Amino acid sequence: MSDTFTTRVEQPGGPVHAGLGDFYSYTVNVDLGFQESPSRSPRRIADDHLRLLRQQFVDPPGMGMARRVLDASSTVILRGDPGSGRTTAACVLLYEVHQGVGIFRELLPGEEEGALTDPGLVGVGDRLLLNLAEADISQWAQARRDLSALRKTVQEQQAHLVVVMPHDGALESHLQPFQADIARPPAMEVFRRHLRLHRIPYEEYQLPAPALDEFLAEEPSMEEIARFADRVRRARAALPVREGFATWCEQSRDARTQWRKEVSALVATRCAAAQRALLFATAMLHGAHADVIHRGAALLLSTLNTPRDETPLLEGKDLAERLEEIGAAVGPDGRVRFDKLDYDAAVRAHFWDHMPDLRHLFSSWTAQSTELVDPHVTSGLRRTVVRRLADQYMRTGRGNDLAFLAQEWSATPTSRFRLEAAVDTLACGLNDPRYGRSLRMLVYDWCKGKRLTGNLAHVLLRVCIDVIAPTHPDQAVTRLHHLARRERGATPALDALCSLAVTSARLRRRMLDRLTRHSTAPTVDARLFLRICDPVALTHPTGAPRPLIDERGVQDCAVAGWAEALVRLPRPQWQPYAQRWLHAACTADKHRDLLLALLVDAAGRNGSTLAVLYSVARAAEPNAPGGRASGAAITERLLQKISSAQGLRPPAAPTEPAPPRGAAR
């Protein structure tokens, strides 16, 4: 780690991030134009997702028992067969016990969050999901050993815990009272619930549909039922209503089973490069305006360096004729679609599976297509085409490659649209259960030590905030901390870290511990400490039994953090925070002396530092809450503590008000 950091400004007006000397060298270039408007908080994102799950949910047999166990003991252990909707049931249970304090998150034993027995793992009112449905024998055994300690902490913190156990697992006798078995909910009711959410009238889906009966007889998973219902919705939107429910279900069934064979036959008979380019572009941009499809096909031919067709334009086939050759057409709204439901997905899969030498070029085309300047190329279409490419990577077992694709797309120079595509493609992988864990670890490694060139730091920042934080806030805190340590100039990672830390007293406590007890970059962490250790937040309980400042461990962190800040940072950097600390003492009657004592303890017996603190207090008097008199009283009390620390004289005893006349003494 001997590389020195470098800073290179390549786009005027963009904030520049660079690392310190004891980190790997890296250059970050983020144009302010790329910064999106303030997004929803991670807590809001998580709650919105849980609310949607609740709307889609049909209570399975055993759900009532699960609710009663959770209500009585704050813990329930769910057991059910794969595909029964166990994980969704767990999320719904946690959504229903929302108390207004605490956050929802998934515990991840084996990753860097710490052991399940760590008391600091649970915050007041937290809603915790421990999903062990796919755990192996050793993981499940270890979790059972740790559950008693975790349950105790959950109860002490007035939190709630739902565990999803392996379907073939066993529980010891002392854990069996917390078990609730759930079975598959009625498949038809699940299907109809999705149709109701899609606003399909009840009378339309009450008609017989043999294709639906065949599908449900296979006992599909809840996820497969949701996909089947969504295809029915889209078939209804694409086909005339007179075709009816049975036809929509047939389309949905055939999309699962028939189209891949038909696409293979179609591609075999459409050998011309222009035909295949149009077929691929239509599949990737399916539902886009005809102008966009036309430009997308031309872009693919250009990407592949295909010789240009010299046929005079007026003599060639028009777009309608060319689309008809591949089974697509332009609708009344000007948008291009295949005649068959989900035929586009089969086309995408065929090109990806059977033309492996072109995969990298397909990826390059996707990035370029997001940069097309056209009134019909919307942000939604850009996200859709990126997701469709990401689906191919993940479908074929290459989900981890999405991180390197995001790195390539965020390289300098880049455009705003390509940078957004880089964020979206990495987000697709992080959101996928198969690749989320490995990609989170890769993001951790990159945030901590990778040489971040181009705009990769911005990509990592966005996925930490929008993707990792809603369900894994501890991991987001760790990654944002590493990014914040490496910032210079603008501080988006630090700002995001502070915003995330304030959502939970537990997260704030954890950050104070990281900054003061496990610091590897003291000067940088001293600046971070000043932002995180906010006196108002420390003295306010925010739904907890007591405020953080009353905890001995937090007091020790405050002293250690202030000591580092006073020694390592110039006065102009720490003085505004010290004045805020003093102003907080003006209004925090219960914690006034404690706040001042912590500040004095941080200065130790260093006379010059104590003198500077006193001068800062004098300068803060005019703007103190309650006016100059209030500020002067705090300064006088601070002086007493400084004198006591120097052994000059004991602090003045507080004056007690005289009792009312006639009161007993």
pLDDT in tens, 639-659: 999 998 887 765 454 444 434
pLDDT digits (tens, 9 = 90+) for 106-118: 988 766 666 788 8
Exposure b/e, 568-592, CB count within 10 A at least 16 = b:
ebeeeebbebbbebbbbbbebeebb
Statement: residue 467 has pLDDT above 80: yes
Residue 468's CB is within 10 A of a number of other CB atoms, namely 28
Residue 395 has pLDDT above 80, yes or no: yes
pLDDT exceeds cutoff 70 at 200:
yes
Mean pLDDT of all residues in 96-114: 79
| Residue type at 220 in one-letter notation | P
Per-residue tokens: 330 = 């332009």
* 281-309 pLDDT, tens digit each: 999 999 999 999 999 999 999 999 887 77
| Whether pLDDT at 35 is above 50 | no
Whether 46 shows a pLDDT value over 50: the answer reads yes
Give yes or no for residue 34 having a pLDDT over 60: no
Among candidate residues 361, 353, 368, the one with its CA nearest the CA of residue 398: 353
- SS3 at position 166: coil
Task: Tokens for 274, please give them.
Answer: 């222009």
Share of the chain above pLDDT 70, in %: 89
Apex 497 CA angle, 492 and 500, nearest 5: 125
Please state, in angstroms and rounded to a whole number, the distance separating the CA atoms of residues 529 and 480.
Answer: 14
Top mean-pLDDT range of 231-245, 378-392, 410-424: 378-392
pLDDT confidence tier of residue 555, bands split at 50, 70 and 90: very high
Give yes or no for a cis peptide into 166 (omega within 30° of 0): no
Q: For the residues 194-200, what does the mean pLDDT come to?
A: 91
Tell whether the model's pLDDT for residue 431 goes beyond 70: yes
Alpha carbon distance 67, 95 (integer Å): 11
For the stretch 585-632, pLDDT in tens is 999 889 999 999 999 999 988 889 999 999 999 999 999 998 999 999
Give the integer Cα–Cα distance in Å for 359 and 363. 6
pLDDT for position 589: 84
pLDDT at residue 110, rounded to an integer:
67
Q: Residue 304, Cα to own-chain centre: how many angstroms?
A: 36
Pair 538, 549: CB distance under 8 Å: yes
Residue carrying the six token digits 């925070």: 577
pLDDT of residue 258: 83
Q: Which of 30-39, 204-213, 634-643 has the lowest mean pLDDT?
A: 30-39
Task: State the pLDDT at residue 111.
Answer: 67
Cα–Cα distance, 290 to 590 (Å, whole number)? 69
Does residue 586 or residue 99 have the better pLDDT? 586
How would you write 462-525 as a 3-class SS string? Answer: HHHHHHHCCCCHHHHHHHHHHHHHCCCCCCHHHHHHHHHHCCCHHHHHHHHHHHHHCCCCHHHH
Provide, rounded to the nearest whole percent, the portion of the chain with pLDDT above 90. 66
d(CA 461, CA 443) in angstroms, rounded, equals 10
Token pair 């760590």 in the structure block, residue: 118
Distance from C-alpha of 559 to C-alpha of 594, rounded to nearest angstrom = 11
Confidence of residue 417 (pLDDT cuts 50, 70, 90): very high
Highest mean pLDDT among 80-84, 357-361, 640-644: 357-361
In eight-state DSSP terms, residue 179 is E
pLDDT at residue 112, rounded to an integer: 62
pLDDT, residue 109, reads 72
Tell me the pLDDT tens digit for each residue of 508-540: 999 999 999 878 888 889 999 999 999 999 998
